[in-house]
Amino acid sequence: MTNPTRTRAASAHFAPAGAIAAVLGLLLFAWSVRRAGVAEILEGIRRVGHGFAVILLLASMRQAIRALAWKVCIEPPHRLPFRHALAAVMTGDAIGNLLPVGPFASEPTKAVFVRGRVPLMAALSSVTVENLLYTFSVAVVIIAGTVAFLSGFPLLPPALRVAGVAAIASMLMLIGGAALVFRRKVRVVSGGVAWVSRRGVAQRLLEAQLERLRTFEERVYGFYARNQRLIGPVVLLDALFHVLAIAEVYVTLALISSGPGPGLLTAFVLETVNRVITIVFKFVPLRLGVDEAGTGLMTSALQLGSAAGVTLAIVRKARVLFWTTIGVVLLVRRGFSVDAVLRQARGAADS
């Protein structure tokens, strides 16, 4: 069970962190908008118009794909109807977008949301497996997008070239390290907890969780051995997710541009930047400010002007807010408050 005192203490730490991140994000947002030009941004948003429905449709298809990928990762005899998986994905994303705890709450929230239909341990392990495969696909996209960026735009500043090479090296190290951990079945979580416990830190509490953590790791490591035939479909679903993400950027740029929109290569590069921003700044609610600043700087480097990038980020944020609102509504309809689901999600992560 979750310790209420520890939960309140965690909330007390998250609250000021979220407030600081929000204030800094607002300042960065204001700087980005002023730098790009308010009139140019408003004109770009006006051009989107009814095309925003297409953007929402592409985003909904991506959420459906993540829900289907998760559904595939749930091992028999457990089954999760697609509509419940989709609702859980929406609520998890809503929590992750709104709060500075990011995936530490959003992923357990999905398991909590369906705990009446799938046992908590099975839901958590399947969420973890799906996230690991998705993370692998993101690493591949970042490598491919960065290679396309470096080769397709030869007149880049040296600093951007260095950053691109560093991004490729980081992703290769991530993939290599993850492959080594899985091959050797390294007990990362339970081993780390055992190490901390042996040093007398919360020893009684941690020792009580060790067996559950080992069981959890065994389910995750054993997934591939038991379900090799499922890896291919999940990888294909993740690939389709990224294709639709690039399509969303392409459509948005085409809508906000006054002339012919940038090509698919540019959309691919900008989606790669979006993935990097999402990973690095997951703790910033809604990526406020950092998305606008980062995308604006990149479109400037690509000779599109910073207004195009800031407008793209603002339209993306409007899409995120739309689906986040639906996720919160789904939580409320299930009788959860945000605080209640966070308490249960933390308890799920601890158990």
- Position 203 scores a pLDDT of 59
SS3 113: helix
Banded pLDDT at 6 (limits 50, 70, 90): very low
Average pLDDT over residues 184-202: 72
CB-based contacts of 37, cutoff 8 Å, min separation 6 = 307
Average pLDDT over residues 182-197: 76
In angstroms, the CA 193 to CA 176 distance is: 24
- Position 136 scores a pLDDT of 93
Instruction: Give whichever of 156-160, 162-166, 282-286 has the largest mean pLDDT.
Output: 162-166
The phi and psi torsions of 281 (rounded to 5 degrees) equal -115, 35
Do 334 and 63 meet the contact criterion of CB atoms below 8 Å apart? no
> For the chain, how long is the longest CA-to-CA vector?
65
pLDDT tens-digit series, residues 29-84 = 899 999 989 999 999 999 999 999 999 999 999 999 999 999 999 988 999 999 99
Range name among 134-138, 176-180, 280-284, 345-349 with the lowest pLDDT average: 345-349
- Position 207 scores a pLDDT of 66
Name the residue range of residue 140's domain.
Answer: 4-350
**Each residue of 258-275: b (16+ CB within 10 Å) or e?**
eeebbeebbbbbbbbbbb
- Position 310 scores a pLDDT of 95
Reduce the secondary structure of 174-186 to three states and give it as a string.
HHHHHHHHHHHCC
- Position 159 scores a pLDDT of 85
Nearest to 325 by CA among 140, 70, 156, 94: 94
Q: What count of Cα atoms within 13 Å lies in the side-chain half-sphere of residue 144? A: 14
Res 12 pLDDT > 60: no
Res 2 pLDDT > 60: no
In angstroms, the CA 326 to CA 207 distance is: 39
User: What percent of the chain stands above pLDDT 70?
Assistant: 85
Banded pLDDT at 282 (limits 50, 70, 90): confident
Range name among 193-207, 214-228, 238-252, 306-320 with the lowest pLDDT average: 193-207
- Position 308 scores a pLDDT of 93
Q: Is the dihedral of CA 83, 85, 88, 89 positive or negative?
A: negative
CB atoms within 10 A of CB 82: 12
Range name among 51-60, 130-139, 257-266 with the lowest pLDDT average: 257-266
Q: How many domains does the chain have?
A: 1
Cis peptide upstream of residue 81 (ω within 30 degrees of 0): no
pLDDT tens-digit series, residues 203-216 = 566 666 777 778 77
The phi and psi torsions of 289 (rounded to 5 degrees) equal 85, -50
What does pTM read for this prediction?
0.86
* Unique residue bearing structure tokens 């291919």: 232
- Position 8 scores a pLDDT of 43
Average pLDDT over residues 125-144: 93
Q: What is the mean pLDDT of the chain?
A: 85
